[in-house]
Amino acid sequence: MPNILILGATSAIAEEVARVLSIRGDRLFLLARDATKLAAVAESLGSPVVGFDSADFDDAEANGGRVTRAIATMGGLDMAVIAHGWLGDQIESEHSFEHAAAVIATNFTSAVSLVIPIVNHFETQRRGSLVVLSSVAGDRGRPRNYTYGAAKGALTLYLQGVRSRLYKTAPLVRIVTVRLGPVDTPMTRNHPKNALFGEPRSVARSIVHAASAGPEDVYVPWYWQPIMAAVRSLPERIFQRFDFLAGR
């Protein structure tokens, strides 16, 4: 049975991913910030969960040790999913460097501090899958979320470099970037919903599939790939004229 580490396991999407994996019989170790919620998730998943622990991933220097302990508890690692994130408050980030730095730390710096020990472990054993949840917000700067988007864009770029680094030395290691479109979860509770919003269970199934098959840079739901290709292609002066793209 595969050993799988899920980081940010109490997010709505990560919990659904864990549920899909538990149903197929994988062994899970869960890490997340909220200890009470994490315990409830672990209990609901049952025996596939071989361990769990609370963790503030913004304490980046401690993340390597957390990964090492999780691997030791499971007796190995076949797959990891990095699923934590924080939208923050865009307006506040424009006036407070402290808030902007916190958004960047959660969405980029802390993720990198987890990627490094996981990738190094996979490179040593010459196999494994790392799935990292990025965002379509990282494809183009938009006034409504450009601080969060900048952090996710940096993460996407970082993972491109990791893939290229491992291309020759560890070709059986998959580094999967999932560029998520908006999903109907508590994280987006205050956002007006439309038909483009994904549903957590369907999104989770796509994420699990991407871990082992298909391209290593994937849009979920799939329809965001052509949408973002069009958005990226617009010259900035034209892009700025459309309120649904460049508005708040």
Would the pLDDT of 191 be above 70?
Answer: no
Q: For the chain, what are the domain ranges?
A: 3-223
> Quick one: pLDDT band at residue 190, thresholds 50, 70, 90?
low
**Which amino acid, one-letter code, is at 101?**
A
- Nearest by Cα to 181 from 217, 142, 137: 137
Please give the pLDDT value at position 244: 84
Structure tokens at 28: 């899970």
Side by side, the strands of the sheet bearing 27-32 are 49-54, 27-32, 3-7, 79-82, 128-135, 173-180, 217-220
Would the pLDDT of 151 be above 80?
Answer: yes
Q: What is the distance between the alpha carbons of residues 218 and 21, in angstroms, rounded to a whole number?
A: 19
List 148, 158, 167, 219, catalytic entry: 148
Looking at every residue in the chain, the average pLDDT score rounds to: 95
> Quick one: pLDDT band at residue 198, thresholds 50, 70, 90?
confident
Is-contact 54 33, C-beta < 8 A? yes
Question: What are 90-126's pLDDT values in tens digits?
Answer: 999 999 999 999 999 999 999 999 999 999 999 999 9
Would the pLDDT of 192 be above 80?
Answer: no
> Quick one: pLDDT band at residue 183, thresholds 50, 70, 90?
confident
- Nearest by Cα to 39 from 10, 16, 66: 10
DSSP for 85-131, written as a single string: -----HHHHHH-HHHHHHHHIIIIIHHHHHHHHHHHHHHHHT-EEEE
Question: What are 217-238's pLDDT values in tens digits?
Answer: 999 999 999 999 999 999 999 9
> Where does 12-105 show beta strands of DSSP type E?
27-32, 49-54, 79-82
Neighbours of 22 (CB within 10 A): 18
Q: Strand 27-32 relative to strand 3-7: parallel, antiparallel, unpaired?
A: parallel
Mean pLDDT, to the nearest integer, of 26-37? 97
Please give the pLDDT value at position 189: 64
Please give the pLDDT value at position 196: 81
Under CATH, to which class is 3-223 assigned?
Answer: alpha beta
Would the pLDDT of 206 be above 70?
Answer: yes
148 catalytic? Reply is yes
Please give the pLDDT value at position 1: 86
